[in-house]
Structure 1
């Protein structure tokens, strides 16, 4: 399970947009938890919503009476400003707009947006439901919606809505929404606190036709903000340098688990696997195989070719340019396939996130990150260093070097927490490793 994080989100309902926080599932003391910024009084749970990210930030700096106050990364979040608590596009959910989306053609964007909206609605209901097993389900409409096979088909991606049968399936999704969506939002709205725990009024919410998080609005709101202390004595500004992007990171290559699993059957059969690499200069996909246990990438002369999208990678593979995988016996199958090169989770290496994690730990989030966070990225780096002949990266990861010793401990004690002093020492070394890797990557069209 991913390390604990808190994500800013926006919910639009009844022509107003409210900002709040969501803590995706994390594990603590052997149990899985998930929560939103809110409170529970008696038998009623609520989610606090705010008219602007600045109002949300002000509440986070001053209040600890809510359901996220005990979250492992709350001390970091409490020091963030409006910029850092402004949701990205992947975490904005328009509950008013589902009918319009369902009326569109079922392209990738429509299907993914509708699936994401239904998913967040289900998560809200799960967290807000305080009823006992013997009580009536207070989110009956949400449960009925989530249980409909038509809604379940959204998780299969746009491919589920191709052809005549796909058109019928998309119509089925719209029919279910026509029947249940108004009841769904009514159930949820009873648990939405649009006063931000008493810190805002409905009059402060602009209509959705206005932009309440444009730069000018943020500048106005920031004038009322003062730097607040966070963990380790850092200010909100230093919290930003501590890797704020990990609080709301979105994926680079987007594909449903079903699509990845289906593609994996082909790639595993040919013994050449898609790989995603994320470095400060960008993110891209490539291919990797092993020849006598030595890593070999799609590239030439020690350079690794990476592509912005799986589709771009596929186009290159079907061409005739020479490279180091041409001589692999199964390459003709790769060149001829229409199976998209979708990397599995274990073949995705985000090297920038390690830098951010080390920065967060060094700046006060000690105890939150286990050594195991290094294992997968280092696996990718070692393969790249081996193929590209990156001697300096190999030296920094050697068992006698500080970074190498930490990685060795991760192998033996993966759950041991990274201490702040160690993280501060390791970050420059890791950044040098990433710089070495970045120099070996060639981004192709």
Structure 2
């Protein structure tokens, strides 16, 4: 069981995005608890939603009449600002988009996103269903509960297969299972959303109005800074806020974040502007950090298989985005991205290849933290911290044909078991007694991957 923590999340329902807080399962006095920011009135439990992280932060500072007020780390949350309460990409759940995801091929990202969305819906239903409280003294037959459609959906075997990962949807039987997932959603999802909507409070406990919510796509645009001056102001505000709250926030969970620091200096506005071009051409800049070196390359997916700038299984890496851009403008060598239809646009572009945060893979810090955990720093690292570095490792190993890496990323290796745990229980913390073996496997992986990287001038 993970240490008590509170996580900001975003829910998009009916073209409206609301921000709230979720307390993943924790144990207290021998009992397991889980909760969302909300209250129960007239036997109806509701989750408070807010149009912005700033509105959520303001509520947290001034209200204590809610279900998280007695949570062990609530005193820390009270001191957090909007930047701290902005959900990361892994905690944004688009309930409007499940049909589109189910219509895609069952690649790793589609399966994980659909699994996460259905999982959070199930957790909401579990916390918001008050029918058990109403019937706990009733000896007659149990009622079906307030979330019949949710229970039906999560109980479907094909939907349960989402938790097994993309491997459950490979081959003929896997294709049938994916079709079954789509069929279950077609049959039940509208009822699921209707049941859930009755328990969503879009007034933020009476602090906002429905009119305060922009459309979901407008909300995403509002999160992006408009110009360099706005970026500078936002960064300055975040720096002040971080200085104010760092001492309080650090003890909240004691869990380290991996891969958060880039070796590339570029403003968020510059990265966002560059991403428009790179996403349009379907080839993305990637930063890789290995022992003693860090660099930038390019990656795309062809039929869900990673392909990098390079050839013969070797990945060409450049010290800086400027070095890579210069190479792209003058290169005449053959490589594995040259046959991509959009490559001529890349070769002719003067847009710097600036990686976004989700395309930065720091393979060194994880080893350092595993060493600290092995030395007894219990609770320092959650299994979720493996996700982003492992994603980068998988892509590189797939392209370079590193079979030994594939073996180390899968059970029964210590690292493979830790990765499996991260997929089942992302908040679970790695134990000191396991960390040394995991670090040994991870170091072998990094060594193999580093051998596939070729630094270019």
TM range (shorter): 0.5 to 0.7
Which residue matches 2:7?
A: 7
Q: Is the 8 A contact 2:410 2:417 kept in 1?
A: no
- CA RMSD, Structure 1 to Structure 2 (Å): 4.4
Matches within 5 A, 1:380-399: none
Q: Is the 8 A contact 1:311 1:340 kept in 2?
A: no
Shift of 1:127: 0.2
Q: Is the 8 A contact 1:313 1:341 kept in 2?
A: no
Matches within 5 A, 1:28-177: 28-132=28-132, 133=135, 134-177=142-185
For residues 14 and 318 of structure 1, the distance between their equivalents in structure 2, rounded to whole angstroms, comes to 44
Q: Is the 8 A contact 1:50 1:195 kept in 2?
A: yes
Which residue matches 1:188?
A: 196
For residues 107-128 of structure 1, give each alpha carbon's deviation from its aligned partner in whole angstroms, at most 9, with x where no partner exists. Answer: 1111110011000000000000
Scaled by the length of structure 2, the TM-score of the pair is: 0.57
For residues 420 and 408 of structure 2, the distance between their equivalents in structure 1, rounded to whole angstroms, comes to 18
Shift of 1:167: 1.7
For residues 272-317 of structure 1, give each alpha carbon's deviation from its aligned partner in whole angstroms, at most 9, with x where no partner exists. Answer: xxxxxx98954479xxxxxxxxxxxxxxxxxxxx985146458879
For residues 440 and 407 of structure 2, the distance between their equivalents in structure 1, rounded to whole angstroms, comes to 27
Unaligned runs of 5+ in 1: 252-277, 286-305, 320-333, 351-371, 389-437
For residues 200-221 of structure 1, give each alpha carbon's deviation from its aligned partner in whole angstroms, at most 9, with x where no partner exists. Answer: 1111111111124334699999
Change (3 A) 1:245 1:90: farther
Matches within 5 A, 1:8-407: 8-132=8-132, 133=135, 134-210=142-218, 211=220, 212-215=222-225, 235-236=244-245, 238-239=247-248, 246=255, 281-283=364-366, 308-310=392-394, 312=396, 340-341=409-410, 343-344=415-416, 375-376=432-433, 379=436
For residues 128 and 195 of structure 1, the distance between their equivalents in structure 2, rounded to whole angstroms, comes to 17
For residues 237 and 395 of structure 2, the distance between their equivalents in structure 1, rounded to whole angstroms, comes to 47
For residues 144 and 61 of structure 1, the distance between their equivalents in structure 2, rounded to whole angstroms, comes to 38
For residues 48 and 256 of structure 2, the distance between their equivalents in structure 1, rounded to whole angstroms, comes to 19
Q: Is the 8 A contact 1:53 1:213 kept in 2?
A: no
For residues 340 and 140 of structure 1, the distance between their equivalents in structure 2, rounded to whole angstroms, comes to 38
Change (3 A) 1:103 1:311: closer
Q: Give the secondary-structure state (helix, strand or coil) at the position aligned to 2:50.
A: coil
Q: Give the secondary-structure state (helix, strand or coil) at the position aligned to 2:217.
A: coil
Q: Is the 8 A contact 2:12 2:94 kept in 1?
A: yes
Q: Give the secondary-structure state (helix, strand or coil) at the position aligned to 1:10.
A: strand
Q: Give the secondary-structure state (helix, strand or coil) at the position aligned to 1:197.
A: coil
Shift of 1:3: 0.8
For residues 256 and 52 of structure 2, the distance between their equivalents in structure 1, rounded to whole angstroms, comes to 18
Q: Give the secondary-structure state (helix, strand or coil) at the position aligned to 1:209.
A: helix
How many corresponding residue pairs? Answer: 307
For residues 8 and 75 of structure 1, the distance between their equivalents in structure 2, rounded to whole angstroms, comes to 15
Q: Give the secondary-structure state (helix, strand or coil) at the position aligned to 2:223.
A: coil
For residues 209 and 121 of structure 2, the distance between their equivalents in structure 1, rounded to whole angstroms, comes to 24
Change (3 A) 1:376 1:76: farther
Shift of 1:373: 8.0
Scaled by the length of structure 1, the TM-score of the pair is: 0.58
Which residue matches 1:402?
A: none
Q: Give the secondary-structure state (helix, strand or coil) at the position aligned to 2:26.
A: strand
Q: Give the secondary-structure state (helix, strand or coil) at the position aligned to 2:214.
A: coil
Which residue matches 2:384?
A: none
Q: Is the 8 A contact 2:408 2:416 kept in 1?
A: no
For residues 91 and 184 of structure 1, the distance between their equivalents in structure 2, rounded to whole angstroms, comes to 20
The range that moved more, 102-111 or 161-170, is: 161-170
Q: Is the 8 A contact 1:82 1:222 kept in 2?
A: no
